[in-house]
Amino acid sequence: MPCKEKVIHINKVLLVNVMTEMLG
């Protein structure tokens, strides 16, 4: 399921961005 994998990838990228902003 490429669509589901794309959603999971986007969620991971958003999570990394949020954590980076909180730490920075």
User: For 1-24, what is each residue's pLDDT tens digit?
Assistant: 689 999 999 999 999 999 999 998
pLDDT number for residue 24? 85
**Nearest to 19, CA basis, from 3, 6, 4, 11:** 11
The CA angle 3-1-11, to the nearest 5 degrees, is 45
pTM higher than 0.85: no
The residue ranges of DSSP E strands in 1-24, in sequence order, are none
First vs last Cα of the chain: how many Å apart? 35
